Homo-oligomer: A and B are copies of this chain.
Amino acid sequence: MSNSNSKKIILSEQDMPKQWYNIQADLPESLEPPFNARSGKFATKEDLCQIFPKSIVEQEVSAERFIDIPQEVREIYKIWRPSPLVRAAGLEKFLDTPAKIYFKNESVSPSGSHKSNSAVAQAFYNKVEGTKRIATETGAGQWGSALAMACEMFGIECVIYMVKVSFEQKPYRKSLMQVYGAQVFASPSNQTEAGRKVLAEDPANEGSLAIAISEAIEDVINHKNTKYSLGSVLNHVAMHQTIIGLEAKKQLEIAGDYPDVVIACLGGGSNFSGAAFPFVMDKLQGKKPDLKAIAAEPSACPKLSKGVLAYDFADNSGFTPALKMYTLGHTFMPGGIHAGGLRYHGASPLVSALVKHKIVESAVVKQRAVFDAAVTFANTEGILPAPESAHAIKIAIDEALKAKEEGKSKTIFFNLSGHGHFDLTAYDSYLSGKMEDYDYPSEKVDEALCHLPKINL
């Protein structure tokens, strides 16, 4: 039942999905398990339980297709969920395209991004298992603010290692985490051996998500009753985010539509997984074989498009088990693009497996083109997008213009993962004409790829 006068398609709280979707049930082949480079063996559940609560580890390795969302998590989701699905009629008109463009607006969460979807779930499972303190890392700060708020709501202490370039570019994200009661350190910090080592070699180091992960994990190992929490990459995080795509499917059904193209930006992969997997499920199950699912990557850090598929560490120091993923190398330091959430060397093993099997594709965009798209979106749809989300907008615009060229209608769905109210220094830089573009840094990547862990399976 389509209502052409509706701008937003709204689900009731009662219709909010009661289960997450676990794509591990539908993969063409099982994921290769994490590898513990120190022991020379595949990582066991026991290994993972040293830093994660047991229920999270169970989700990480589960092959169940649907997993219940606990009532307590659903109650907190209701603060902002179900989020609106929006028909981007203003953008369509501006582009003069025959394509229909829909986007899911995840910017309405209290932290301003999709990250809250997994933060609340992870805080809940930790609470149940008696965790008193959680350590994590954050890039652009979206994950940190989401986890800080979630921890506050469950009465858990929260310690955050924030990538230094973002800490400096986005001081307000740090303040938001502090309002939610978290302790925030610029990473590389002096709090950990890993941080001190980086600073000793390079005191001006701007940090990276991989370094910050090393610091957070070291913090967990050295503190009692403390667990680690990761905002992306891992299977359970991807699964928690599927609430986005599951809601969107219901909403598109209300609109009488189904996407031909699904687009989301990709940093570690949680946002892409959340938006795309419930649709990719239909492709994997043969119901929508021609679905295009596109992960939008920055030219400064294009792991799916230019990386190698190999076992690599999730962090900079090699604390974590190695994951089989597309990677630019765990020592790779991406340029300081404003989409801090996309500055990560590796892609989720789930997304990597889907790219390997050509179920999912990737597209690379440059920073200035991304901000062109962001400003076009703000001026036609009203909402100021996060720079990360604008990568998806750029690809959505390209797809809509292609439809126009081909004179074909097409349904495009993308995820607006967050708002840009914390990113106005980036917009300032764009408006003043001072924004740099970043080419693919092939030499830096070649160098980093030399440091992949040597794993003989």
Contacts and interface: CB of A to CB of B under 8 A. Distances in A.
Total copies of this chain within the assembly: 2
Interface in A378-430: 378-384, 419, 421-422, 424-425, 427-428
B10 A5 contact: no
A201 interface: no
A176 B384 contact: yes
Interface string A178-195: 111100000000000000
A193 B90 CA distance: 40
Contacts of A383: 79, 110
Contacts of A80: 382
A49 interface: no
Given A149-B382, A180-B378, A382-B153, A112 B421 contact: yes
A158 to B, nearest CB: 12
| Of listed A149, A172, A175, A178, residue having the most chain B CB within 10 A | A175
Nearest to A371: B179
Contacts of A451: none
Main secondary structure of the interface of A (DSSP, over half): helix
A90 B413 CA distance: 34
Nearest to A379: B152
A5 B152 CA distance: 22
A430 to B, nearest CB: 9
A78 interface: yes
Given A79-B383, A153-B382, A180-B378, A424 B175 contact: yes
B79 A381 contact: yes
A79 to B, nearest CB: 5
A225 interface: no
A6 interface: yes
Contacts of A57: none
A7 interface: yes
Contacts of A379: 152-153, 179-181
A421 B13 contact: no
Contact of A110 (B75, B149, B382, B427): B382
A260 B13 CA distance: 26
Nearest to A77: B7
A431 B181 contact: no
A421 B172 CA distance: 8
A375 interface: yes
A12 B13 contact: no
A54 interface: no
Given A8-B13, A13-B6, A179 B382 contact: no
Contacts of A90: 153
B112 A78 contact: no
Interface pairs A-B: 4 shortest CB-CB = A7-B78, A172-B424, A110-B382, A175-B424
16 contacts: A5-B13, A5-B14, A6-B78, A7-B75, A8-B79, A10-B10, A79-B381, A80-B382, A175-B424, A176-B427, A178-B431, A179-B378, A179-B379, A179-B431, A181-B379, A421-B421
Interface of A: 3, 5-8, 10, 12-14, 75-76, 78-80, 86, 90, 108, 110, 112, 149, 152-153, 171-172, 175-176, 178-181, 375, 378-384, 419, 421-422, 424-425, 427-428, 431
